[in-house]
Structure 1
Amino acid sequence: MSASYSSARGAAREAASSQHYPQGALYVVATPIGNLADITLRALHVLELADVIACEDTRHTQQMLRAYGIDKSAGQLLAVHQHNESEAAQTVIDRLRQNLRVAYVSDAGTPGISDPGARLAAVTTQQGLRCIPLPGASSVTTLLSVAGIGGESADTSGFVFHGFLSSKSTERAHTIGVLAQEPRAVVLLEAPHRIEALAQALAVLGDRQLTLGRELTKQFEEIATMSAGQFSAWLQADANRLRGEFALVLHPAAIAAQGGDAVRILTLLMAELPLKSAVKLAAEITGQPRNALYEQALLLKKQD
């Protein structure tokens, strides 16, 4: 495998070596979420250059490095994961104060995004040391790029990243109830052994649209859009759909779905009040975004 990337390493040195890479700095390096070809040239260069590579799983990282033909000894790899991040951060700080370059990678994707790394970055900056990001693969942005969501109004633009929901059914149901009121898109992550439970919990959202990505960037990548109420049936239709890591995007809720009777209430108020007053009062009654209600009011007025 390493021979396949020999030209990539050469290109990385040619493209990235002219940049300054200070010593005594922590390099937070995004790595592929499945497809090894998604590594960046700058990431390859920094991984070769690093004196120490802090990582979520040393065995996994060593395997990845060997695939790229990068040779690091076991002593150059330092385990920094969710169970030891606070303690291991001090070891990283010691290495940085020795004027070494330390690269940090999680098992896949961008560190600190539902992965270890956030505490390490925080401690590094708190100690007055440099923390340098190397952007790259992320399941969050990968799925968002094809989900086709675009805010129809200022209140529904953008997205909210939530990540993994609680494994406890009561807490998970409560969180979904809260997220149901969120007018923007919501990004969730889930592991294969919990995806059926998540699908059942999301069923309460009914017709709200959902785009899911399974095994993103890998050979059996699957991306599908459906209503939240259809998700369980979609999983059960093919046993292979229960395999692999999942990223999910709940689309912005349609105004009627957000508030149930929001449109009906708005219509009744418009019959008695000026448009702006009706929108203001409807927003207070239903809790729905005023901008979205105003756009709906304009549509209703055109239909008169």
Structure 2
Amino acid sequence: MATLFIVPTPIGNLGDITRRSVDILKSTKIILSEDTRVTKKLMKLLEINYSDKRFISYFEHNEEHKISEIINLLELENDIALVSDAGTPIISDPGYKLVREVKRANCADIAVLPGATSVTTALVASTFPPDKFTYLGFLSKKTGEKEKLFKSVIESHRHIKSTYIAFESGYRILKTLKLMQNIYGENVQVALCRELTKLHESVELGACSEIIDMIEVKKLNLKGELVLVFNILEDKNG
């Protein structure tokens, strides 16, 4: 029986890829890539010859109609590796539907390799309680939906105390922090994580107002995706 390998890639530092991930990328002939150009660049940096490999573009907008093709390849006993542009596949990237259908079809083994993910890296770096955490994924571009989500967090937090993690665009983070300040007031602490594992990695800690001030006064470089970690404090007013 073939194997579908879920292969994590570095989130910034090339040295964070595991030996097992490298071995799988070397030995597997079919690679499912979110962006084939990014994957080929990574393999070149890792000195992996990919001239004999078949790359299949597998991303959000073609995910569902690619599943039958991939299952057919697995049924023909072709091992396949699924990678994303950075980090562990399926966490906010395409793949869970494929894994579900492969499991249902019982056409291949599924091997999930451990590796880099910005979710838990940011959680540990935040200094907030890590024993219970809730991953909110990519925050909506729409302010109304974002506001609804943040308000629902208040209700869920009454029942289960948790640290919250989300991805946000650098272009929207200032507006998002101001929205959080309006909803939570001073009852929230924020960790804004940038460039994790890279040369200019930084984790800014403080109240929303403090992080907003850092952005507006220090003119922080906020390009790309940021990891926003926040911890709701006990309401001192009861």
Give TM-score scaled by structure 2 length.
Answer: 0.91
Moved more, 128-137 or 233-242: 233-242
**C-alpha distance 149-34 of structure 1, shift in aligned 2 (>3 A):** same
Output the amino acid matched with 1:249: V
Which structure has more relative contact order (CA 8 Å, sep 6+)? It is: 2
The alignment of Structure 1 onto Structure 2 pairs a total of residues equal to: 231
Return closer, same or farther for 1:185/1:216 CA change in 2, 3 Å cut-off: same
Match of 1:231 among 198, 211, 219: 211
When residues 28 and 249 of structure 1 are mapped into structure 2, their CA distance, relative to the original with a 3 A threshold, is same
More helix by share: 1
- Indicate if the aligned counterparts of 1:209 and 1:227 stay in contact, CA closer than 8 A: yes
Deviation, structure 1 residue 170: 0.8
Mapped pair 1:180 → 2:160:
no
> 3-state SS of the aligned residue for 1:242?
coil
Paired residue for 1:100? 78
Report the alpha carbon displacement of residue 74 of structure 1 after superposing the two structures with TM.
Answer: 7.7
Pairwise CA distance, 1:86: 0.8
Cα contact 2:90–2:96 (8 A) shared by 1:
yes
2:28: which partner in 1? 50
1:212 and 2:170 aligned: no
Superposed counterparts of 1:80-91, under 5 Å:
80-91=58-69
Q: 2:122 aligns with which of 123, 143, 163?
A: 143
Query: Max radius of gyration: which structure?
Result: 1
Shift in CA distance, 150/199, structure 1 to aligned 2, threshold 3 Å: closer
The percentage of counterpart residues that share the same residue type is 32
Name the CA shift for 1:77/1:237 in 2 (closer, same or farther; >3 Å): same
What TM-score, normalized by structure 1, do the two folds share?
A: 0.72
- Asked whether the equivalents of residues 203 and 231 of structure 1 are also in contact (C-alpha less than 8 Å), the reply is no
Indicate if the aligned counterparts of 1:79 and 1:88 stay in contact, CA closer than 8 A: no
Aligned pairs for 1:136-285 within 5 A: 136-150=115-129, 157-181=131-155, 182=157, 183-204=161-182, 205-207=184-186, 208-251=188-231, 253-256=232-235, 260-261=237-238
User: AA paired with 2:34?
Assistant: E
Cα RMSD after superposing both structures: 1.7
The change in CA–CA distance for 1:30 and 1:75 in structure 2 (over 3 A counts) is: closer
* Separation (CA, whole Å) in 2 of partners of 1:89 and 1:118: 11
Stretches of 4+ aligned residues off by more than 3 angstroms: none
Q: SS where residue 193 of structure 1 aligns?
A: coil
Q: CA deviation at 1:194?
A: 2.3
Contact 1:32 1:137 in 2 (8 A): yes
**Normalized per residue, which structure has more strand?**
2
Q: CA deviation at 1:114?
A: 0.9
Uncovered stretches (5+) of structure 2, i.e. residues with no partner: none
Q: Provide the rounded CA distance (Å) in 2 between the counterparts of 1:174 and 1:76.
A: 43
Contact kept? 2:33, 2:57, Cα under 8 Å: yes
CA distance in 2, matches of 1:63, 1:118: 25
Return 5+ residue gaps in structure 1 as ranges: 1-22, 152-156, 262-304
**Partners of 1:235 and 1:74 in 2: how far apart?**
47
Q: Secondary structure at the match of 1:190?
A: strand
Whether the aligned pair in 2 keeps the contact of 1:82 and 1:116 (CA below 8 Å) is yes
**Partner of residue 264, structure 1:** none
Shift of 1:75: 5.6
1 CA distance for matches of 2:199 and 2:214? 20
Deviations 1:30-50 (A, max 9, x none): 110111111001000000010
State the alpha-carbon separation in 2 of the partners of residues 38 and 75 from structure 1: 23
The CA distance in 1 between the partners of 2:180 and 2:85, in whole Å, is 28
CA contact (8 A) 2:30 2:81 kept: yes
CA distance in structure 2 between the aligned counterparts of 1:199 and 1:87, rounded to whole angstroms: 38
